Structure 1
Amino acid sequence: MAGIGRPHQGPGGLADTLTEARNAARVAAAREFRPAVEHTDELGVSRLLATWQQSDITRAFAETALAPLRDADHAHLLTALRAFLENGGSSAATARALGLHRNTVAARLRQVRDRPGVDLDDPGHRLALQMACRAVQPPGR
């Protein structure tokens, strides 16, 4: 994963460039199913999301919300959830991204939905889960 910051003048500018590059790299790392290089000028709203992802509150929520999916026995469910959320809630696109049959994806998403507190039909809940998925590294990464 790599991030590229904008050029800034002076010694303080170097620190700003590095901060932007780190934020862009965090966004690149969160995009498991997309290119692994991000430029800060191309981030748009992702720049704001990167800041949220780094907050202690977001990370604490992520740890709690995703705990049932983060162990080795359920890592495939977390991967399916991440792909589903990153692909706009499309099971077909998720299946393509993961190289799985759509019935396999549907079965995994049913298992995710069976977890307490997971409501993939609520847009606010999906957003919170997507932020949580981006805030924590998936197992094995």
Structure 2
Amino acid sequence: MVLPEMPADLLGGHCQALAAAATGRLPTRAALDACRADGTRAAERGVPLRTLVDGALAAAEGLPDVLPALRRAVSALMEGYELAQLAAIRGEETARREFVDDLLQGRAERLAERAEHFGLRLAESYVVAAARGLREGDQDRIERDLIARFGSHNVLVAVREGLLVCVVPATLPAAVGEFTHHVRARFPPGWRVGVGRAHRGPGGVVTSFREAAGALELADALRLDLDVVRAADLLVFPVLLRDRGAIEDLVTSVLSPLLRARGGHEPLVETLEAVFAAHGNQAAAARRLGISPRAVTYRLERIRRLTGFSPDDPTQRFTLETAVLGARLLDWPWDQS
């Protein structure tokens, strides 16, 4: 007898296998395939697995000597059911990642409809974090952990341009911190996370992603010793680069004399970077560089003599720091030939 919760047409293959078993024969391959098909249809219709198995057992009541066949038939039912569930999960994951990829690229086709399916509220503001240093398998593990904590409607994870990208609501800043925590735990040394600013709507997601990726590029160009770089902290650099001619002229005018220094310009530029990073504290700069404070003082005096600019003077310090930043951004020195 089939339980009332079970649609009558879902156990046709199973009942055929049991009918054959009543004659003393085990189910054929075709009969087991029909059972698997029953299990698949049950999963697709949303029938609970327990209900399916109860119905399969009830169908065998009163039939003699069917236990071996029943075992095989129920196993085939469950296999079909589980395969259908797995296929549905994989299809959902694929659709989710395709949606995030389209979102990050600004492709608007059916975006609102698909966003609703994944719980994304496009009218809200979102923040995008992008991590460099991705290895195979990292995406799935980090995505599962984030979704387990914050829910699938609050976290979107995808791989874009070689970066692991995480999109979260601006109202959930803890998700960015959690994303960074998992990146730190799983990525190899050399990882870095860029974080864009909060922007509204689908276009805002694209903008925030570009800011996060741009922050990573700027951090590399400036040789920043930071694991996490925020676009909001680097806003001055795009401003500098808007007038490339002016910044090139500044770098050339201020730093070119260092090219004549004995031992090359690089130790002097690195000394300036260390002093600026230490807010003028020469002892801290020396520790950063691994040299003595006296050596730092000597190098700064050489810089003053060669360029005419001293980091001790507030106005001249700003000029020197801007020139050094511009030099790193534009990969100075350029070909002098």
TM-score greater than 0.5 by the shorter chain: yes
> Using the alignment, how far apart are the partners of 2:193 and 2:257 within structure 1?
30
1:77 equivalent to 2:264? Answer: no
The verdict on how the C-alpha distance between 1:139 and 1:132 changes in structure 2, with shifts beyond 3 A counting, is closer
Deviates more, 1:20-29 or 1:99-108: 20-29
Q: Cα distance 1:3–1:112, how it changes in 2: closer, same or farther (>3 A)?
A: same
- Does residue 51 in structure 1 map to residue 238 in structure 2? yes
For the 8 Å contact 2:255–2:307, the answer to whether it is kept is: no
Rate the CA distance shift 1:94–1:79 in 2: closer, same or farther, 3 A: same
Normalised TM-score (structure 2): 0.35
Structure 1 spans left out of the alignment, 5+ residues: none
Match of 1:135 among 326, 330, 336: 326
Of Structure 1 and Structure 2, which has the larger fraction of its residues in helix? 1
| Offset of residue 14 of structure 1 | 4.4
For residues 104-119 of structure 1, the aligned pairs below 5 Å read: 104-119=295-310
Q: Percent identity?
A: 27
Cα distance change, pair 23–122 in 1 and its aligned pair in 2 (3 A): farther
Structure scoring higher RCO (CA < 8 A, sep ≥ 6) equals 1
Structure 2: state its 5+ residue gaps.
Answer: 1-191
Across the aligned residues of Structure 1 and Structure 2, the Cα RMSD in angstroms comes to 2.8
Among candidates 268, 274, 288, match of residue 97 of structure 1: 288
Q: How does 1:19-30 map to 2 (within 5 A)?
A: 19-29=210-220
Displacement of 1:40 after TM fit? 2.5
**Tell me, what secondary structure is at the counterpart of 1:73?**
coil
CA distance in 1, matches of 2:296, 2:258: 15
Asked if the contact 1:65/1:132 (under 8 Å) is kept, the reply is: yes
Give the alignment partner of residue 314 of structure 2, picking from 98, 113, 123: 123
- Go from structure 1 to structure 2 and tell me whether the alpha carbon gap of 1:68 and 1:15 turns closer, same or farther (over 3 Å shift): farther
TM-score w.r.t. length of structure 1: 0.75
Distance 1:119 1:76 in 2: 16
Q: 2:225 corresponds to which residue? A: 34
Q: Shift of residue 105 of structure 1?
A: 1.0
**Given residue 124 of structure 1, which amino acid in structure 2 is its aligned partner?**
T
Q: Which has the greater radius of gyration?
A: 2
Aligned residue pairs, count: 135
1:66 maps onto 2:255 in alignment: yes
Distance 2:284 2:222 in 1: 15
